[in-house]
Amino acid sequence: MSKISVFLIVFLVFSGCNSRVEETSETSESVTGTDVQEFPEVARIDAGAREILDAWAEYRSLEDRMAVLREAENEEEMKLLLEELNQICTQLEESTFPVTFEQPSVQSRLKVIRTYLGKLEAALYYRLDHDEPLRELMESYNALREQFNVIVRNTLSPDLFEDE
C-alpha cells in the first residue's frame, strides 16, 4: 500500500510540473507574436490639401512629430514625444484654422487624436502594452489626414441643399 501511495505522489508531482512548463511556453509564444505588429501606413494627402496645409505651421509641426513617433525606439523617447504632441495639439486647437478646414469634422478628429494621446500616455505610465494605443493613435491621425482629402475633393456647395 505504501508503494502505491509513493508511486501515486511521484506521478502527481511529475504530471503537475509538466503542465506548468507547457503553459509558460504557450504564453511566451503569444507575447512574442504581439510584439511584432505593423502599424498602419500614413495616409497620403492630395496636392490641393497639401498646398493649404503647408501654409499652416502648427499642422506641419504635428506632422513632423507624428513621423518621429512611429520610429521611437524606447519608452522614454516616446514619453517625451507625447508631451510635445500634447503641446502641439493644444496649439493646433487654439490656432486659427485655414478657412477651408475650419469645420467641425476636422476639430473633432483633433479631439480624437488628443484622446488617443492620453490613452498612450496612460499605457506607458502604467507600463502596459502600448502597441494597441499607438495603433489607434496612428489610425486617428490617418482619419484626420483623410478628412483633409475629403474636404478638398468635395466640390458641392452647401447652398445647393438650402430650401428657398
pLDDT tens, residue order, the chain (164 aa): 778 887 778 777 777 665 554 444 444 444 433 343 578 899 999 999 999 999 999 999 999 999 999 888 899 999 999 999 999 999 999 999 999 999 999 999 999 999 999 999 999 999 999 999 999 999 999 999 999 999 999 877 767 777 65
Measured between alpha carbons, how far apart are the two ends of the chain, in Å?
Answer: 100
Q: How many CB atoms within 10 Å of residue 123?
A: 18
The domain spans of the chain are 43-153
Model pLDDT, residue 142: 96
Model pLDDT, residue 164: 58
Q: For the purposes of burial, counting CB atoms within 10 Å of the CB of 119, is it exposed (0-12), middle (13-18) or buried (19 or more)? A: middle
> Do the beta carbons of residue 61 and residue 159 sit within 8 Å?
no
What is the Cα–Cα distance from 117 to 113, expressed in whole angstroms? 6
Model pLDDT, residue 31: 40
Is the CATH number of domain 43-153 1.20.120?
Answer: yes
Model pLDDT, residue 18: 59
